[in-house]
Amino acid sequence: MAPMWRLPTLAAALALLLAAPAGRAADEANGRGRELWGFCQQCHGADGGGTPLYLAPSIAGLPTWYVERELRNFHEGIRGTHFDDVSGMRMRPMALWLRTDADIVAVAGYVASLPPVKPAPVLAGGSAAAGAALYAPCIACHGADGRGNEQLGAPPLTHASDWYMLTQLQHFKQGVRGSDPRDVKGALMVPMAKLLPDEQAMKNVIAYITTLEP
Ligand code: HEC
Ligand code: HEC
């Protein structure tokens, strides 16, 4: 785990903003979103494919509605404030750094415009064959193809980092994520994570999810 002093500082962020960083610009991406992305990419990677060392997941291509909601959740302390949420507490100050809702909308639009990146798997010991049956109850919200469902608020999982999904399933199960009374969408996931009896079951369902191609 990286010591705190190695994480990007606000000063570094400001320097990056002044230096007008070169992000991978998708056609429709707005200038402000790209400018803000210069800060985010220090942890999430220039292509948005994530950096396990910083516990920062792959986020490139996630839909705007999901990115906006999660940024607002971090901002309002609905996510990333639980005492045991080590990774969420790293992200929360970054969302607070986005001062206005217009900036949240701008950077979310930019994240959504990035081509999705499928991160290399890092978890060992999961069985996709065993995970297929465990994925059956997930289909109702995340879809058979893992592409998610905006009406139900369930994000796509097809480009999520496998190590990140394991942490999130553990966090939902333990109430580290999704237990804030205001977290209406996170609350939907808590009972689902509890369906997975142990870490092996989680690794199996994740191994199955990583076989899904949109
Ligand atoms: C200091 C490193 C760091 C920086 C800088 C950073 N993030 Fe994060 N981000 C993280 C970590 C760590 C997580 C995982 C949080 C968790 O485990 O709950 C995360 C999670 C997220 C998520 C949730 C992903 C999901 O699938 O739910 C989004 C969205 C996100 N970051 C967007 C951004 C944006 C936009 C910026 C720039 C304004 C940014 N991040 C800057 C570390 C960082
Ligand atoms: C009732 C609908 C529903 C079902 C069924 C469901 N999920 Fe979810 N899931 C959600 C919602 C909503 C979220 C977003 C929660 C939030 O905003 O914090 C989510 C989030 C997640 C995340 C975190 C994604 C991210 O980017 O942070 C993972 C991983 C996940 N679900 C896996 C599963 C698995 C595996 C199953 C089956 C065992 C499952 N889900 C079943 C609704 C559901």
The verdict on the CB of residue 75 being under 6 Å from ligand 2 is: no
Residue that has been written with the tokens 């199996």 in this structure = 204
Residue 64 lies inside a defined structural domain of this protein: yes
Q: pLDDT tens-digit profile of 179-206?
A: 999 999 999 999 999 999 999 999 999 9
Pocket test for ligand 2, best of 142, 190, 200 (most atoms within 8 A of CB): 142
pTM confidence score: 0.90
Output the CA torsion 25→89→69→9 (10° steps): -30
Answer yes or no: is 121 within a domain: no
Ligand 1 touching residue 59 (CB < 6 A): yes
In this prediction, residue 21 carries a pLDDT of 45
Q: Of 205, 208, 189, nearest to 134 (Cα)? A: 205
Residue nearest to atom 34 of ligand 1 (CA): 40
Alpha-carbon distance of 198 to 200, in angstroms, equals 5
Specify if 118 maps to a domain. Answer: no
> Ligand 2 within 6 A of 155 CB?
yes
Residues 20 and 109 in one domain: yes
pLDDT in tens, 140-186: 999 999 999 999 999 999 999 999 999 999 999 999 999 999 999 99
Structural domain harbouring 183: 128-209
**Contact indicator for 147, 201 with CB cutoff of 8 Å:** no
Residues 79 and 48 in one domain: yes
Within-domain flag for 214: no
CATH of residue 138: 1.10.760.10
Q: Are residues 16 and 105 in the same domain?
A: yes
Count of the separate structural domains present in the chain: 2
Q: Could you tell me if residue 81 is inside a domain?
A: yes
Residues 53 and 88 in one domain: yes
Same domain as 101, residue 184? no
- Ligand 1 centroid–CA 40 distance in Å is 7
The answer to whether residues 96 and 45 touch, using CB atoms and an 8 Å cutoff, is: no
Q: List the structure tokens of 151.
A: 């009406």
Q: Does 154 contact ligand 2 (Cβ within 6 A)?
A: yes
Q: 83, 113, 143: which is the final residue of a domain?
A: 113
- Is the residue at 122 inside a domain? no
143 and 81 both lie in a single domain:
no
- The tokens of 209 are what? 């999810």
Task: List b or e across 17-41, with b for residues whose CB sees 16 or more CB atoms inside 10 angstroms.
Answer: eeeebebbebeebeeebbbbbbbbb
Phi-psi region of 145 (alpha: psi -120 to 50; beta: other; left: phi over 0): alpha
Does residue 179 form part of some domain?
yes
CB-based contact 126:204 (threshold 8 Å)? yes
Q: Are residues 84 and 185 in the same domain?
A: no
At 18-77, the pLDDT tens digits run 444 444 444 444 799 999 999 999 999 999 999 999 999 999 999 999 999 999 999 999
